[in-house]
Structure 1
Amino acid sequence: MSLFQPAEFGPVFEPLVAVDRCRSLGAGRAHAADHKSLQRATLATAFGDAQLVDLDMARCCLAGVWLLHDFLHESHAISQQIETPSGSFWHGVMHRREGDFSNAKYWFRHVGRHAVFDELGPQIESLAGEGDSGALRLIIPAGTFDPFGLVDACQAAVRSGDDGFCRRVQQLEWELLFRHCFRHAIGS
């Protein structure tokens, strides 16, 4: 399982990511009170004293934190401007959460083979419980993470209302992708 440590991301991101990251598979409910804090997280402020070495990855972090707080429109406005595999990854996750499953798959085709996929497969297997075998087969066929399978599993989970496993997978996906983008943004 991911050992996500909010303090790793500095004083601006820490309170924004030290929240319940097991979000709805749908759009969720954005809270107006969070909007001001999120607006204060900019490229100039969010990374503290760290020197940014990859602005696209830094923007990916901003897209991710807006998405975490269920501000899909704001996340989308950022991610659609990032023409990299990680930008497309955030873009695909956002469309999956809004329920536009075919558009999510379109963006995942732009991702290609992402480094985070290799981390996801083994960790997803450890999340699975007794009743999760159907979704597990979709998400990690042959032990390898399949983002299209996760889209299909999330769509089925939304329809059935049995979304616990997919929500845990989505949380792990968010944590690993955010950490990946943050580390590349600051060159660590």
Structure 2
Amino acid sequence: MADFKASLSRAAPAPGLDAPLAALWWAAKGNWHEAHKIAQDQDTADSAWVHAYLHRVEGDAANAGYWYRQAGKPVATGSLETEWERMVSALLGSGNA
């Protein structure tokens, strides 16, 4: 997690970073559009989870709910920061780094 957060000082995510983590990287940098493009171009449960988070960031609860269902995840209710941390930690822990 520390390395991932430290990489946010760079201009782009690390080469070879899996799409869901790359999308979360761009989201942390404030580039919602790039993050969304990456998430929506993938057809995995992890990308659907990130897609849900991004629509939650956007304030579109209905669309977020759809993507949480696609990911098989409960709709998040905590802070966006807490959800981002939980997602990055889970994705890093599952060998997606």
Counterpart pick for 1:104 among 51, 55, 64? 64
Match of 1:70 in 2: 30
Report Cα offsets for 1:62-83 as digits up to 9, x if no partner: 0001111221100000001221
Distance 1:105 1:15 in 2: 30
Match of 1:43 in 2: 15
Distance 1:62 1:180 in 2: 14
Distance 1:71 1:103 in 2: 19
CA contact under 8 A between 1:64 and 1:90: conserved in structure 2? yes
Give the drift of 1:37.
Answer: 0.7
Counterpart pick for 2:6 among 5, 9, 14? 14
CA contact under 8 A between 2:36 and 2:51: conserved in structure 1? yes
Match of 1:174 in 2: 84
Q: Output the TM-score relative to the length of structure 2.
A: 0.81
Distance 1:43 1:182 in 2: 15
- Please give the residue correspondences for 1:156-175 in structure 2 after superposition, counting only pairs within 5 Å: 166=78, 169-175=79-85
Q: Which runs of 5+ in 1 are unaligned?
A: 17-33, 47-57, 114-145, 151-165
Q: Secondary structure of 2:43's partner?
A: coil
Counterpart pick for 1:85 among 25, 37, 45? 45
Report Cα offsets for 1:85-105 as digits up to 9, x if no partner: 111111011111112221111
Distance 2:43 2:14 in 1: 19
Give the drift of 1:110.
Answer: 0.2
CA contact under 8 A between 1:63 and 1:79: conserved in structure 2? yes
Q: Output the TM-score relative to the length of structure 1.
A: 0.45
What count of residue pairs does the alignment treat as equivalent?
96
Instruction: Give runs of ≥4 in structure 1 deviating > 6 Å.
Output: none
Q: Which runs of 5+ in 2 are unaligned?
A: none
Which structure has the bigger radius of gyration?
A: 1
Give the drift of 1:182.
Answer: 2.2
Q: Pairwise CA RMSD of aligned residues?
A: 2.2
Match status 1:185 vs 2:96: yes
Seq. identity, %: 26
Letter in 2 for 1:91: H
CA contact under 8 A between 1:43 and 1:59: conserved in structure 2? no
